[in-house]
Chains A and B, each alone.
Chain A
Amino acid sequence: MKPTTRGFLFLAFVLAVLPLALPNAYYYDLAIRMAINATIAVGLNLLVGYTGQISLGHAGFFGIGAYASAILTSRYGLPSALAMGLGAAATAALAFVVARPILKLKGNYLAMATLGLGIILSMVIVNETEFTGGPDGMPVDAFSLFGLQIAGEQAWYGVVAVLLLFVTRGALNLIDAPAGRALQAIHGSEVAARVAGIDVPSFKVRVFVLSAVIASVMGSVTAHYVGFLTPGVAGFFHSIELITMVVLGGMASVFGSILGAVVLTLLPQLLSAFEGWETVIFGLILMLTMIFLPRGIVPTLRLKFAGRAA
């Protein structure tokens, strides 16, 4: 069995047995938030880790999905699945339009452009009070499909676990496919990739759109799950949080992204015991992890163990 298949089966196993170990709705809630973040991180990693294109604006796409679901269902009475689809379509359209000019940029300018895009989106959400409720936020109706409502932590856990597995499997397949190798070639050297006959801009655009749509769908899921939405979800700090998950867990490692999401979702909960010192400790953990595990947790550890075995 390939290591990635083993990893995937392990993930499926963990997701399947986890409910047995979750004592109450609070732990379910944590698990759901982890799975949501992990799904976004896996998508983002395709862009950041594999293709080497940084994005500091993905929370903006998350926000489009979330607010599309909230506004279209609560204010216009659209079915929630349709709203989610429209949100994803809008995200895809926007991502597609901006991708070409943005992805021509490199490194820090790319960071700046995606950051700008994210901030413009979050500013629209803050200011268009009539639709979005402004800084105080807006309530979101429950998600219903064919008259069936998804409610309660257990049902949602099922939904997000399936989504996570689906996206993980998809990402693993993509990376193994020729397209995935093309992406990694772009990361290695764009020029070399072009020489090898890869249509670099088109690949970059597609992966950008894909990761944006994943973030958008998870935004919709989050909006319905939490039942209340504030502009912070589309903000700069959320973008930073998302990219930190990817980098912390490990660039170009699908399972690293999942681990990164788990760690970063759990950390604030654990740190709440250190009254007042949360920010300091969080900052120190970020720094120390990145100093000592510069390639991220999973790849660095994998290298270490591989080295020992050899």
Chain B
Amino acid sequence: MEKRTFIKFTLAAAACATLGTAYAADPIRIGAVLSVTGPAAYLGDPELKTLQMYVETLNKNGGLIGRPIELVHYDDGSESGKANGFTKRLIENDKVDLIIGGTTSGATMAMAPLVERAQIPFISLAGAVVIVEPPKKWMFKTPHTDRMAAERVFDDMKKAGLTKVALLSENSGFGQSGRKESQAVAAKYGITLVADETYGPKDTDMTAQLTKIKGVAGVQAVFVFGLGQGPAVVTKNYAQLGIKLPLYQSHGVASDEYIRLAGSAAEGVRLPSPALPVAAKLPATDPQKKVVSDYAKLFAERWKAEPSTFGGYAYDGLMLAADAIRRAGSTDKAKVRDALESTSNLVATSGTFNLSANDHMGLSLSAFRMLEIRNGDWTLLN
């Protein structure tokens, strides 16, 4: 008897729960799989904070198309195998309407077959070109590709007459993808890569690699592709060895933390970056000025932490989604997907997005700003 009552009760409760969600809230469910811990936490942590913060903000302003937003997020611990599992959970169990995330390219590609099969709009926050090239029906991404970063750097080198470049890349997804793209586009800018060295993400000393690079005949500049503490160590070692060649970094170091860690050794370093680090220095006429200033201010207030360009990617992803859902007028997956593909002139932190059937990222090369570190601060180059 007891057992039967229990079963009845459970069934009733379950029925209530299902009906309850159908009637009362009916929220828009946005799923996210991010690398909040592990080696890629440097990217994933601000991404999650940004999503949480802006979902709160959107809900405070009445949600989207009259419905509240619910964020369902999982941490893949920087393991793409877990990202794959959690994506299944989002699709099958949490029944989300749209997925943001995949902090790293590896995680994104592990999630890709699932979202394509389930036919659900997916906005990745990772950099690799392969995510959107060739365009896959349900996949979009917000950050500039690593190819664009390499192109922006090589373009700057070309203008300065630097043609023999040493490449030093991090032995991580970010660094190795950057290395591959750098090798692919170097020739287009008349650049020869005369050295190809790597370092581990947690390495503590890169003087060996830099000494080797220093000894390469005719080398004119060094390009480092990595993120977090590694590039800061490289920069310090660079100064220690007294190498006077121009030092270029990737967008992976576009955060105040880099300047703080590398200190005076970072003087003169050049890098491509979204507008965020130079929000205050943008001319008033810049269309992005308001967006990036507001984002930086809100993030700093809410989390008592420095805003990062990686968090900005999540902001862009959420805004792309919100914009698409508004224009679609529903959370119908196919309609939202079509709306995403027709996004135009959406100003966000990474640049102005103009998507199309052939371009599921929608940023142009000019969205990357060239910055130089002078007097311990970012300077905008033209």
Contact = CB atoms under 8 A, between A and B. Distances in A.
A77 interface: no
A230 B85 contact: no
Given A29-B88, A33-B85, A137 B75 contact: no
Interface in B30-60: 36-37
Size band of the B side of the interface? 20 to 34
Contact of B172 (A30, A135, A226): A135
Contact of A29 (B36, B37, B75, B85): B85
A92 to B, nearest CB: 24
Give the secondary structure class of A's interface.
helix
Contact of B93 (A24, A137, A227, A233): A24
A228 interface: yes
A27 B93 contact: yes
B81 A232 contact: yes
B92 A226 contact: no
A230 B106 contact: yes
Contacts of B113: 139, 227-228
A129 B110 contact: no
Contact of B37 (A30, A139, A233, A279): A279
B273 interface: no
B176 A230 contact: no
B172 A228 contact: no
A149 interface: no
A268 interface: yes
Given A137-B106, A137-B110, A230 B171 contact: no
B128 interface: yes
Interface in B80-116: 80-82, 84-86, 88-89, 91-93, 104-106, 109-110, 112-113
Nearest to B85: A29
Contacts, number: 83
Given A228-B113, A232-B79, A278-B37, A24 B105 contact: no
A136 B173 contact: yes
A30 B104 CA distance: 23
Contacts of A268: 77, 82
A24 B110 contact: no
Interface in A24-76: 24-27, 29-30, 33
Given A129-B180, A139-B113, A279-B37, A26 B172 contact: no
A26 B37 CA distance: 23
Size band of the A side of the interface? 20 to 34
A272 B75 contact: yes
B85 A135 contact: no
A161 B315 CA distance: 43
A85 interface: no
B223 to A, nearest CB: 18
A134 interface: yes
B84 A226 contact: yes
B176 A136 contact: yes
A25 B106 contact: no
A269 B75 CA distance: 10
A126 interface: yes
A230 B176 CA distance: 13
Nearest to A225: B84
Contacts of B84: 226-228
Given A24-B92, A135-B177, 5 more contacts: A29-B89, A137-B109, A228-B112, A230-B173, A279-B37
19 contacts: A25-B92, A26-B88, A30-B85, A126-B171, A134-B173, A134-B177, A135-B176, A137-B109, A137-B110, A226-B110, A227-B84, A228-B113, A230-B79, A230-B81, A230-B110, A230-B173, A232-B81, A233-B81, A272-B86
